[in-house]
Structure 1
Amino acid sequence: MSAVKQGRELAPQLPIARVLPVLGLAHLDRPFDYQVQTDQHLDAQPGVRVRVRFSGRLVDGFILERIEASDHPGKLGWLERVISAEPVLTPELAVLARAVADRYAGTMTDVLRLAIPARHARTEQVVGPPPGTPKPPTVDLDAWAVYQHSDSFLAAIAEGKAARAAWQVLPGEDWPARLAELACHTVVNGRSAIVVVPDQRDLVRLEAACEPLLGDRVVSLSAGLGPSARYRRWLRALRGQASVVIGTRSAAFAPVPDLGLIVVWDDGDDSLCEPRAPYPHTREVAVMRSHSETCALVLAGAARTAQTQALVNAGWAHDLTGARATVRKRTPRVQALSDEDNRITRDPLARSARIPAVAFDAARAAIAADAPVLFSVPRRGYLPSLACERCRAQVRCRRCHGPMQADGPGAAGGAHAGSVGSLSCRWCGHPEANFRCAECGFTKVRALTTGARRTAEELGRAFPGVPVLTSGGDKIVDAVEGGARVVVSTPGAEPVADGGYGAVILLDTWAQLDRPELRAGEEAVRRWLSAGLLVRPHGDGGALVIVADAGLAPVQAVIRWDPVGFAEQELSQRTELAFPPAVTMASIDGEGPAILAFAETVELPAGGELLGPVELPPGVRLPSGLNRDEVSDPQRILLRCSRAQGRELAAALHAAQVARNAQHESAPIRVQMDPPTIG
């Protein structure tokens, strides 16, 4: 041992630090004890980042606590150094991270990677101490009076109670303003708030609503920020300089002091499902945080997920909805008709644009009233899906077998059939200059679906002289001015119109309803109601036209504007069929032999089931480390147990991963609790 190491002296008090090394391995997901030197005593506090030696190499870690003595029988190593004296891992965040890891059969260090941004030393020095006591903000809550039981809910927040609500937003509601008022109300009563939204567009709207009420008390966090800016804002929340944190997915972990309210907007959006291990959903993180920190919770949106309805049915959360009379007053006039309806328009321009007469008339009436019109098309691009004109076989890429698309008017001769110019693959981008059907040898194609750009081209001819703009893909428009104009958008990319849209027409709805997924109907209702929020009330001439069969349950939910009833029906059906959230499911994805070998080591709870293996559902990413070109048949195994046994299943999966890591199994697999796509 060197003289330097021999000269180390233990800290005078609490000389042992319990450290969680950042290793990411299931069998090492626990704290280890290290000795603290005298010169590290003041800085080596719980929550700070440190460097320790583990198995002969230096690794990062977090101090969880300081203790007087260790129960480890062997010799202890020393803390190599304290990286920063900033206590970034608060006690509340440590409890939450452990709970999330246990809930999702993951490791605590993986959760902390999601929760705590990378350190920037210069940023720590720039962010100053908390300012003096600012002037209390004021907030007007009158707009909440239209929601039943809102007075008791707001009173519960003011009293610091853990009130939990499923807020069903009324049509035409300025939801960013209402969420800003909730956050401000929480701050007025002496506590902090977190509001999480799915994407940057929602965050921009929410930020614009919060700043007039809260000023520099609010800080926004998103993945789009640079590392330094994100860490600076995160430190402001940690140090108590910001009372309200708004942001995307990871903001649910923001280290605000004395949390009084956490809000999740549109929990059905796929963006709120973390794509990195252990794949937590923001809604579940918020639910766990509301429980652990005894704070209020709001799950809000235009629609309602079956998971949120399950919380309401269990009595854990309560409805915050408008009266039916208020709903009827504020909804647009909703009509549904099939695109094969006998009322299809006789106007040749409208016929070329695939618009039934009722929808075309609603669009014309809105434009005549100098109001914008929105056409929602579920596919972006020009002709995103093609088939051989002769044999109807879908056109596939010769390299990766992905679907081929036509990128512009020169690629195919018409909306339904034509000779081919240049096509490209939607998966790998490989161009195809000389198409020939692999089944019959024919060289012409027809469109299976029409994209937003082609629809905009057709509508330009149907509405001559009216400005037409598109929103979707890499060109998303956030807002449009009032006045006569046509907007063609993909779902989720709809611009907000000044004064609301005069009409919204939902086209090609079968593309959303026919998806082979458990949540297809739920997702369609969410998309349609979100578009419906942008329409003027029927008293002001607003119309919502759905080109779909009015007898379908999702369409009926929109006609009645009854997302709660649809969620109850959806939950009832899933309970009968033993689907989530009525049960707990986990997926194991990867190559067949690897996932079968892993599944055999999982000790299922009593009554648990193993389903599969089956093909990996369409659109689901391969596990990290697998290449689509190298895996011809990626597969999935599903594990199912009762909802009450969910924690047991997560523990069993974690134990199986511990055994797998200990045996140095290297074949890539993905283990995921509550996978968003079941098939």
Structure 2
Amino acid sequence: MTSAGSSAEGLSGPVDVCIDRPLLSLDRPFTYDLPAELGAGVGSLVQVPFHGRATRGWVLGPTDDLPTRMLAVKKVVSPVRFFDERQLALFRWVGERYVAPLAAVIARAVPPRVASEEVGRDLPDAGATLTGAHDPSAGSVLAGYRGGDRALEALDGGHGAFVARPAPDDEQSLAVDAVAACLAGGRRAIVIVPEAIPVPATASALADAFADRAALFLGGGKRSRYRRWLEIGAGRFDVVIGTRPAVFAPVDNLGLIYLARESHPAHREDRAPYYHGRDVALARSRLEGAACVLASACPSAEASALGLPTISPATRRWPPVEVVRPGPAGRAPRLVKALETTRRGFVFSPLPGYGIAQVCRSCGDPAACASCGGLLRAAAGAVTCVVCAASGRCRSCGGTSFGVRRGGAEDVEAWAGRAAPVPVRRLRDEEPARLPGSDEILVGGADDVRDLGAGGLDLVAILDVDLADRRPGLAARERSLATWMEAIGWARPQGRAIVQASSPGDPIVQALVRGNPDRFHVEETRKRQEAGLPVGAAVFRVTGSAALEAELRAFDPSTLLVSPSEGGTVCLLALDPERVMAFGTRLRELAADGVVDRVEAEPHL
């Protein structure tokens, strides 16, 4: 990116323009004549006539594909060059991999423009390197890891990709160490974290370590995000720490992309172009000759299947984990006894509320919502429907008194509070995630397991492991395992963990005991293969007309599921990644012909 005030070569004559219309049917460049006096170049936001209207678009570069009639670019909308040739290559890769309009990719890669932020800003030229706090000793953590020497060599040279499984108490220091090694080699780094609130401990550790050389690109309002993006593009920072969009940050001389908590679902974009930060990070590192580190206590099946070198502790750095069977009322006697001596602890209870209504006390019928027939849950002293949120009334007689099967965070708070020598508190929905204070035990669920730093807890208890098989979603078990492993990591260095499970030999339970998900991934990969959605396949959900099915079968998908919808067809298919480019080309043609309405890559299943 070239900021206002920076110099860059201008273009003139015929140029390709990406029209700011994120439609697959219009996903091709349009040729316009660019007057030299406008001073526009690659990445310039311009105004052009399009179907009789003034429309914005981005200049992609010169072209020899000349139409019989060529209109002129009307004006330059902004002095900012929003991308350069290197970034454009990445945007095109994303558009091809996820079968998405280039305009949609640019819209996700660049924050919304605030014109007043472009006026009169004194920004340094791109390529300038600032001096800041003294860099941490590069390589001091990685050197103690298996595969660390190879990673340090790659970071120094700026190439190669790795999967890192940091020890729980090294999660932040490993990121700092990798970035320091990159900077020591004279290149810049991007670190991607899945969440912005609360500020992840990894982001805070990097900001503290690199001071004014580091930029936090987390959350914020429209104006502050655009201002920070301009500063990044102008070369003001050597380290950029941000959420998913930071993978596109306009950083020159890039040497490292570090993806923290790689298996976290927030790394996947839920809007077009539906990209995954992992895949884009790997692609950008290849395109720009940088190193890429995918870090997670429990890497995803997709990351594990890549066959990348692994960075892991040279010795066991995992808390002792004891597996116990659930006892009466869902609590094992061993767990209750352990709570009696716990001063700081965390009890993971995935179910909210006090319990589930089982039977109407008025008529004896099974409990069901009178409005929609949904499940009724007791929570905060009231019974409500988990589906429509209506007040709990019996579907048969309208009664409001129910027999409740206890089991939920409120119930856990009650019985754990009776056993523990310190206060036990349940984290409420409105409370930010945090670690327990001194002499405190917290009860929380998946939303409370965040990047909060080293825990140092006496005890971490994982309840209701058996429920993982009942959760919907192709990767539900994997996501549960990743969350549990992050929580158990809080017991380092002196604490322990207790896991309640009816099947101690289940690969998901054994992964918790070993602190290693490899065998679990083997089992999950087999299940995914049997389900027809193998790990590594490109999966798409395509909506269109009745002619869609025949068109998709021509690509010989490993799986094709077809469902009729109102006035059309919805198809779910899994493709060999090698076929995606040809697949995307054909879908763009079909979109122009009205056969394809919508394409969603890697849908949540």
- TM-score relative to the length of structure 2: 0.89
2:485 alignment counterpart: 529
Does the alignment pair 1:431 with 2:396? no
Aligned mate of 1:252, from 233, 247, 266: 247
Cα offset for 1:477? 2.7
Which whole-Å CA distance do the structure 2 matches of 1:612 and 1:17 have between them? Answer: 41
Aligned residue runs from structure 1 range 99-110, under 5 A:
99-110=93-104
Does structure 1 retain, via aligned residues, the 8 Å contact 2:48–2:75?
A: yes
Q: Does 1:164 align with 2:161?
A: yes
SS of residue paired to 1:405: strand
1:504-515 maps to which residues of 2 (within 5 A)? 504-515=460-471
The 8 Å contact of residues 455 and 489 in structure 2, kept in 1 or not, is answered as no
- Cα RMSD between the aligned structures? 3.0
SS of alignment partner, residue 12 of structure 2:
coil
Mark the CA change 1:671 to 1:472 in structure 2 (over 3 Å): closer, same or farther: farther
Gaps (5+ residues) in structure 2?
1-8
CA contact (8 A) 1:380 1:472 kept: no
Aligned to 2:332, which of 312, 336, 356? 356
Aligned mates of 2:564, 2:527 — CA distance in 1: 23
Judge conservation of contact 2:141–2:177 (CA < 8 Å) in 1: no
Give, in whole Å, the separation in 2 of the partners of 1:558 and 1:181.
Answer: 27
Residue 313 of structure 2 is aligned to residue 322 of structure 1: yes
Question: What is the CA-CA distance between 1:657 and the residue it aligns to?
Answer: 2.6
Question: When the two structures are aligned, how many residues end up with a matched partner?
Answer: 590
Question: Which runs of structure 2 are paired with 1:573-592 in the superposition (5 Å)?
Answer: 573-575=527-529, 578-588=532-542
Supply the AA of the counterpart residue of 2:379.
D
**What's 1:624 paired with?**
none
Q: Are 1:398 and 2:379 counterparts?
A: no
Aligned-partner Cα distance in 2 for 1:640–1:33: 35
Contact 1:604–1:649 under 8 Å retained in 2: no
Give the corresponding residue for 1:23. Answer: 21
Alignment of 1:623-642 (within 5 A): 637-642=571-576
| Offset at residue 264 of structure 1 (A) | 1.3
Is the contact made by 1:127 and 1:236 (CA closer than 8 Å) also made in structure 2?
no
- Which of 106, 109, 116 aligns to 1:112? It is 106
Shift of 1:33: 1.8
- Aligned residue among 560, 569, 581 for 1:610: 560
Match of 2:602 in 1: 674
Shift of 1:22: 0.6
- Contact conserved, 2:360 with 2:367, CA < 8 A, in 1? no
Tell me how far apart the structure 2 counterparts of residues 79 and 523 of structure 1 sit (CA, whole Å).
49
Contact 1:219 / 1:242 at 8 angstroms: preserved in 2?
Answer: yes
Task: Give, in whole Å, the separation in 2 of the partners of 1:570 and 1:652.
Answer: 32
Change in CA separation of 1:109 and 1:485 when aligned onto 2, cut-off 3 Å:
same
In structure 2, the partner of 1:658 is 592
Matched-pair contact (CA < 8 Å) for 2:532–2:558? no
Which runs of structure 2 are paired with 1:280-679 in the superposition (5 Å)?
280-312=275-307, 317-323=308-314, 326-327=315-316, 330-339=317-326, 344=327, 354-367=330-343, 372-383=344-355, 385-389=356-360, 393=366, 395-396=368-369, 398=371, 402-409=374-381, 411=382, 423-432=383-392, 435-438=393-396, 444-447=401-404, 450-463=407-420, 466-471=422-427, 473-481=429-437, 483-494=438-449, 496=452, 500-537=456-493, 540-575=494-529, 578-588=532-542, 596-602=546-552, 604-606=554-556, 608-613=558-563, 637-660=571-594, 670-677=598-605
Tell me if the contact between 1:336 and 1:546 (Cα under 8 Å) persists in the aligned partners.
yes
Structure 2 CA distance for aligned equivalents of residues 461 and 614 of structure 1: 55
Supply the AA of the counterpart residue of 1:486. Answer: I
Structure 1 residues 273, 403: CA separation in 2 closer, same or farther (over 3 Å shift)?
farther
Does the C-alpha gap of structure 1 residues 597 and 448 become closer, same or farther in structure 2, counting only changes over 3 Å? farther
The structure-2 alpha-carbon separation of the partners of 1:470 and 1:656, relative to structure 1 and needing over 3 Å to count, comes to farther
1:638, CA displacement in angstroms? 1.7
TM-score, normalized by length of structure 1? Answer: 0.80
Structure 2 counterparts to residues 35-54 of structure 1, below 5 A:
35-40=33-38, 42=39, 44-54=40-50
1:643 deviates by: 4.3
Q: 1:148 to 1:454 in 2, by over 3 A?
A: same
SS in 2 for 1:559: helix
Cα pair 1:472 1:490 within 8 Å, conserved: no
2:598, 2:283 → 1: CA distance? 23
Q: Quote the offset at 1:203 in angstroms.
A: 4.2
- In structure 1, C-alpha distance between the alignment counterparts of 2:536 and 2:86, rounded to whole Å: 30
Q: How far 1:428 moved relative to its partner?
A: 4.2
Which residue in the other structure is 2:91 paired with? 97
Any conservation in 1 of the 2:454–2:492 contact (CA below 8 Å)? no
How big is the shift at 1:488? 0.5
For 1:29 and 1:268, locate their aligned partners in 2 and report how far apart those are by CA, in whole Å: 31
The answer as to whether partners of 1:334 and 1:545 remain within 8 angstroms in 2 is: yes
Does the C-alpha gap of structure 1 residues 148 and 614 become closer, same or farther in structure 2, counting only changes over 3 Å? farther
- 1:443 to 1:478, Cα distance in 2 relative to 1, 3 A: closer
Change in Cα spacing, 1:587 to 1:66, as seen in structure 2 (3 Å) is closer
Match of 1:86 in 2: 80
> Following the alignment from structure 2 to structure 1, what is the Cα–Cα distance between the partners of residues 11 and 562?
56
**Secondary structure at the counterpart of residue 487 of structure 2:** helix
Report the CA distance shift for 1:396/1:516 in structure 2 as closer, same or farther (over 3 A): same
Residues 32-70 of structure 1 deviation map (CA, whole Å, 9 limit, x = unaligned): 122233541x2x121111111210112211111145x66
Is the 1:376–1:504 contact (alpha carbons within 8 Å) kept by the matching residues of 2? Answer: yes
CA distance in 1 between counterparts of 2:24 and 2:568 reads 24
